[in-house]
Amino acid sequence: MAFIRANLSTIIVAVIVFGALGFICFRLIRNFRQGKSPCGCDKCRAAGRPAGS
């Protein structure tokens, strides 16, 4: 219990950072599965479409 009290601020910051990273990864994976590209355009390879189409 003393460890948690001594490091409570660090633990809270770590939870916030890992939560944000998890949310970003979740959104990227969800958008990729829906066929949306991470850069916002619809014609690049990142959108899951072949080049030139």
Residue 36: closest CA among 26, 23, 49, 19: 49
The residue with greater pLDDT, 10 or 45, is 10
Signed CA dihedral, 22, 27, 33, 39: sign only: negative
Signed CA dihedral, 37, 38, 39, 44: sign only: negative
> What digits encode the pLDDT tens for the residues 2-34?
999 999 999 999 999 999 999 999 998 998 888
Instruction: Give the CB-side neighbour count of residue 52, counting CA atoms within 13 A.
Output: 0
Is the overall model pTM greater than 0.75, yes or no?
A: no
Would you say 34 and 27 are in contact if contact means Cβ atoms under 8 Å apart?
no
